[in-house]
């Protein structure tokens, strides 16, 4: 049986319980403790969309959003946003990566050539 991590609430002055509602800053703190890296409160909305978290608006016409601790307590997220690279990329993906590498090298070569021409003009 895996042991659940216990999270402390500065606002409540006790450990969170399953019925508690958390602000986005508290959600970020709990997820950061679970994941082992910093999670910003601005990213909580994206996490709620991604993991279908229940949002609660305590006041009508308010921007304040609260989330259930029972949904957050075991949530672990990666430190980078977006898709993870596939372990077995398709031939098309490999071709695109090669093209992007060639294009980046060409742009870098042009930048070096422009710098050389500018230096020659100054002299």
The per-residue DSSP string of 6-70 comes to: P-EETTTTEE--TT-EE-HHHHHHHHHHHHTS---GGGHHHHHHHHTPPEE-SSTT----EEEHH
CB distance 101 to 55 below 8 Å: no
Which is nearest to 9 in space by CA: 1, 20, 19?
20
Span 106-116, pLDDT tens digits: 888 777 777 77
Task: With a cut of 70, say whether residue 1 has pLDDT above it.
Answer: no
The pLDDT score that the predictor gives to residue 69 is: 92
pTM of the model: 0.64
Is 35 among the domain residues? yes
CA atoms within 13 A of residue 37's CA, in its CB half-sphere: 6
Range of the domain at 114: 87-123
Do 42 and 91 fall within a single domain?
no
Q: What is the pLDDT of residues 50-62, one digit of tens each?
A: 899 999 898 888 8
Same domain, 60 and 97: no
| 93 pLDDT more than 80 | yes
């Amino acid at each position: 049986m895996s042991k659940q991590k216990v999270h402390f609430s500065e606002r409540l002055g006790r450990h969170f319980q399953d019925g508690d509602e958390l602000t986005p800053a508290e959600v970020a703190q709990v997820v950061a403790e679970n994941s082992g890296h910093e999670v910003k409160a601005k990213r909580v909305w994206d996490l709620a969309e991604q993991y279908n978290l229940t949002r609660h608006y305590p006041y009508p016409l308010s921007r304040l959003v609260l989330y259930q601790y029972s949904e957050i307590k075991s949530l672990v997220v990666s430190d980078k946003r977006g898709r993870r690279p596939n372990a077995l990329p398709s031939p098309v993906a490999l071709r695109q990566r090669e093209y992007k590498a060639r294009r980046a090298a060409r742009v870098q070569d042009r930048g070096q050539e422009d710098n050389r021409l500018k230096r020659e003009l100054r002299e």
